[in-house]
Amino acid sequence: MTANENETPGLTQKGPRVTSNIDWNADGKQHGYISAPYSANDSAWGAVRVPITVIRNGPGPSVLFTGGNHGDEYEGPIALKKLAASIDPASVHGTIIMIPCLNPPAVQVGARCSPLDGVNMNRAFPGQRTGSITEMLCHYVTYVLLPRVEAVIDLHSGGKTLDFVPFAAMHYLNDAEQFERTKGVIQAFDAPISLIIEELDTEGMIDGVVEESGKIFMFTELSGGGTTTPETVQIAEQGVVNVMHHLGNLDGEPNTREWRGETPSRVMATPDVNSYTISDETGLYECLVTLGDEVVDGQLIGRIHSIEKTGLEPGLYYANRSGTLIGRHFPGLARPGDCLAVIGIDQDELL
């Protein structure tokens, strides 16, 4: 076997099919588009256009902020839209890239997955050049945007199916220096909870792509239920500005909760699968614990009642560890495999 056995003579590796109208070397503020080709029945030479704002002012740190990775999560898109309009380029050092709605087809229909290909964007990274529309957009983020930045901040919420005590999160990382840099960003964002998380599954997430490149990655989960509150939008907006201050994109210091006279960010962790309670059946979910309440290991936290028949005992669901209920299933209907509860435990500090 030769080194070039899988190459076709006369053909070379091609770049992304997705393009943008951004001049990456220009100072100032640009409101433009990322354009992904999408030939459909109603638009033969059509494209999906993703709004993007780039604010650049000379040398300095570079950061990518994204929202709308999932289309039913709204704090991130609203906060980034507001900041993209309000930030004065003269106050910026380096480069700020903002994509309020990374997955416009999903945002337009308020769905977690894109209606164009049925793909969950945050399970499709690093993407594919010749893949579906969602995979092409992931490929562009991975191979065009990520090399341009030092940090990625991905703003999520619980969407229609989950609700959370708002938190900013990072993963456990083997690289101590990368962990420390990421920890600084989490602390600067200053959400009500600062969380170190061990997730149930991370395959295909933007998280791993960024972390494997050695760069800073943090994400949020800001409430849920498929809506927003004034508080959660404010947390998102202030957190983004705080991160810009921390990284050096804007002069000044982060505006912390403690400085504002609010309860300081609570440092917590979900260290393993015992933090999660998963449904085994279909039925009406009765949550017995209020979000933010303390629970003890073995405590009854929910029941699932049969829809089809009366007189049946409900399915009983218990906490697998002592801690705080920081996330819960939001709809009244549960199905097998649904995450019913997320329990966090207190940490003295980010490790």
Over the stretch 3-43, which tens digit does the pLDDT of each residue have? 444 444 554 556 778 999 999 999 999 999 999 999 999 99
Percent of the chain having pLDDT more than 70?
A: 96
What tokens appear for 206 in the block?
């933007």
Q: In this predicted structure, what is the pLDDT of residue 163?
A: 98
103 pLDDT above the threshold of 60: yes
Q: Given pLDDT bands bounded at 50, 70 and 90, which one contains residue 344?
A: very high
Q: How crowded is the C-beta side of 220, counted as CA atoms within 13 Å? A: 39
Instruction: Report in angstroms the alpha-carbon separations of 110 from 72, 106, 147, 156.
Output: 4, 6, 30, 14
Q: In this predicted structure, what is the pLDDT of residue 215?
A: 98
61 pLDDT above the threshold of 90: yes
14-35 CB burial, b ≥16 within 10 A, e <16: eebebebebeeeeeebbeeebb
327 pLDDT above the threshold of 50: yes
Query: Widest CA span of the chain, in angstroms?
Result: 72
For residue 175, the one-letter residue type is D
331 pLDDT above the threshold of 50: yes
Cα separation of 101 and 221, whole Å?
A: 16
Torsion on CA atoms 229, 231, 234, 236, rounded to nearest 10: -80
1 pLDDT above the threshold of 50: no
Q: Given pLDDT bands bounded at 50, 70 and 90, which one contains residue 267?
A: very high
Helix, strand, coil share (%) of the chain residues, nearest 5: 25, 30, 45
Torsion on CA atoms 178, 165, 156, 271, rounded to nearest 10: 40
- Of 237, 206, 208, 223, the closest CA to residue 140 belongs to 206
Cα separation of 249 and 55, whole Å?
A: 10
What tokens appear for 104 in the block?
């416009």
Lowest mean pLDDT segment, chosen from 10-19, 38-47, 233-242, 339-348: 10-19
Q: How crowded is the C-beta side of 306, counted as CA atoms within 13 Å? A: 7
Percent of the chain having pLDDT more than 90?
A: 89
Q: In this predicted structure, what is the pLDDT of residue 326?
A: 98
Mean pLDDT of the 300-325 span:
97
